[in-house]
Structure 1
């Protein structure tokens, strides 16, 4: 098992473990291997092929990518590409004996984790936006065509139902709260319901955090959107003697909300609003702040485990329970909460976002100018 995108891994194996490639009959991603063991059928889905890397526009592998890496001799090892919402095969008798599943049970092709989470969160129409505020903070907008703007920035994911999602990812997400609890608030971390208590502390400070700005590039890999800088690190700006822990804590929540706004501005906007999922969506305080900061209506979907739900929707379409991915998503979506932007807070958050942009640019500018 090798970690990484498929084609670069093949190139590495060719250079470092050619004997492994010489013995190989097929190259499969983890979920595709499981499906193969269930059905005996070899296949992969469009999202895996496009991220191999392949062609996002064609939703398939691309020979030019293999040629660039010098691995043309091994492309025959790649699995056939199928749509995520199609049937791969049926559970074999051997697999049934091993798993307890009924022999003959249809098995869908499925899709990658991002695409499954997007469908599970209730998005499938062009213009819809999804933010997954989990360990990382993924912000994407759906299109009915491959969207490459802005060039050389962000990620383009393949979504079942002939959709593409242009995505900007702040590498740090809810990890900023974990850091805050462990570093600034160990007393709260040791208590009951630490995240609720932390949010309550942040609420004691007003919008704008008294002028404190937190740049949430809290990752060892820096930042990849809406700019790329592996050396970028997080930091507080605007601290003053009269400000305390509450302002610092609130600025961490606000910093993530500003980063989300920054990402959507780079994509060109979030259309009709944002579907918010991930652990951060559990906080009504944070969800409302994201609505207020971005100016978009934020809906938190009903349910949990949206990746598993998205995979189930692909299966439901594959066996004919729904006529299309769009029909399946619409039929199963419910909003748990709806957060409408508070116009009264717009001036404070616009000013805060302006400070955030200055602080972010200064952080990255120091690195660039110092060449360290």
Structure 2
């Protein structure tokens, strides 16, 4: 009875799985995301913590046996500043935030981003902890003075539940951790001008660490004090584990708010002179890494086009089915985030566009062009990450059968979709079970999946579309401005 809790950006989910990896009880509730002027995006730690309490209590009340452990995962990046008791010293700054756009552009011009990338393999973007922290160090230094720890969502929740100040090695990878030594690279911290704030970085916990619910956490969740709690990896690597990614070269596509593309590797090798984008994420297994290319906009783009066209998400599949591959010549670039793009390139000025429109263009063509452009972005990311093996997929986007088939066609390979949507929570539970010494049968868990095949006749259309996407991207990058 391990309860997996996935604290997403806009949704918190709690799930319990049976021995075959099938969810038997689940609950979810929405988190509040505050979009403010100037590209600022923030969340309230207490509200997020309340969502955790809500879903855990709901699940626990439905279980036939007592909860035996809690396994946490959730969103990464951003900056969650807390004091010694775990109270927020200011609202959490989301990974979606764009207040540091200009700072990031300056770091790119000054070579700071390239210096950090050479040392850690992680590219920086406006919503990463380094950029946000440096911005606040200039604009709100008193806030950093009051803080005891500068961390992330999962460790912020862990602190309030257990009293422990720590961070999972996966979160700590962003962007200052040397993935080989699993220690902070002091020169990377210095390059960002944050050496004087070094004490705010919690030391990464040993892999598969187990913590205990304290009295305050027990009261909040309605569970017994002393209950085992694990925290991490965060949602990207947790999803890879939960989906069944195990062999080097295998990858996972997460079509969620973020379009996250990851490939498993046993070598922390990268081209130090390459595009300073993406990240190397440490996994719970020593010597294993995920080369991650998390593009900024996935299903968030679909939500935007639904609002724009006055349609429902349920209308997406019929619209995609009514427009052939190629969207009648309509093309799109999917860069809708206010903070630009972070993978497989970083540009805070990146913006979306549609081309090839005419008076005959309808909703179906606009929707298909956007969905195809997101799939092209995924291919761009996977080419940079080195995908060579099986491909898995998860996230709200793969609930659309038509969109999933577009991804398969653009990527030119079948896609394995786990039968249970709670893939992040699955990964957290599998990690917790290993840490507690009672691992599940991972092969049995992986059997609960379906495979989406591509249509061979569409490959040529998508090859031309991808070439057009690359040409359009190259032309647009010369026009973007802050």
TM-score normalised per structure 2? 0.66
In structure 2, the partner of 1:317 is: 434
Assess if the C-alpha contact under 8 Å between 1:6 and 1:53 holds in 2: no
2-side partners of 1:176 and 1:294: how far apart? 20
TM-aligned CA distance change 1:137 to 1:13, over 3 Å: closer
2-side partners of 1:319 and 1:99: how far apart? 21
- Per the TM alignment, residue 93 of structure 1 is displaced from its structure 2 partner at its CA by 5.3
What are the superposed Cα offsets for residues 6-63 of structure 1, whole Å, 9 maximum, x if unpaired?
5666666766666666666655544334434544544322123222522223222233
In structure 1, the partner of 2:170 is: 47
| In the alignment, structure 1 residue 176 sits paired with structure 2 residue 301 | yes
- Per the TM alignment, residue 252 of structure 1 is displaced from its structure 2 partner at its CA by 1.7
1-side partners of 2:471 and 2:196: how far apart? 50
What are the superposed Cα offsets for residues 151-195 of structure 1, whole Å, 9 maximum, x if unpaired?
412222222223212222332211222222222x32xx2xxxx32
1-side partners of 2:175 and 2:346: how far apart? 21
| In the alignment, structure 1 residue 106 sits paired with structure 2 residue 228 | yes
- Per the TM alignment, residue 298 of structure 1 is displaced from its structure 2 partner at its CA by 0.8
- Per the TM alignment, residue 283 of structure 1 is displaced from its structure 2 partner at its CA by 0.6
| In the alignment, structure 1 residue 338 sits paired with structure 2 residue 451 | yes
In structure 2, the partner of 1:226 is: 344
Equivalent of residue 282 in structure 2, options 158, 163, 174: 158
Which structure has more strand as a fraction of its residues?
2
Equivalent residues in 2 for 1:1-372 (5 A)?
1=81, 3=93, 29-51=152-174, 53-69=176-192, 72=195, 75-76=198-199, 78-88=201-211, 90-92=212-214, 95-97=217-219, 99-149=221-271, 150-162=274-286, 163-183=288-308, 185-186=309-310, 189=311, 194-268=312-386, 270-322=387-439, 329-367=442-480
- Per the TM alignment, residue 138 of structure 1 is displaced from its structure 2 partner at its CA by 1.1
Q: How many residues of Structure 1 are paired with residues of Structure 2 in the alignment?
A: 356
TM-score normalised per structure 1? 0.83
Runs (5+) with no aligned partner, structure 1: none
Q: Which moved more, 1:62-71 or 1:258-267?
A: 62-71
CA-based RMSD of the aligned residues comes to: 2.9
- Per the TM alignment, residue 215 of structure 1 is displaced from its structure 2 partner at its CA by 1.4
- Per the TM alignment, residue 242 of structure 1 is displaced from its structure 2 partner at its CA by 4.7
Runs (5+) with no aligned partner, structure 2: 1-80, 82-91, 94-126
Q: Give 1 or 2 for the bigger CA radius of gyration.
A: 1
Which structure has more helix as a fraction of its residues?
1
- Per the TM alignment, residue 229 of structure 1 is displaced from its structure 2 partner at its CA by 2.6
- Describe the SS at the equivalent of 1:291: helix
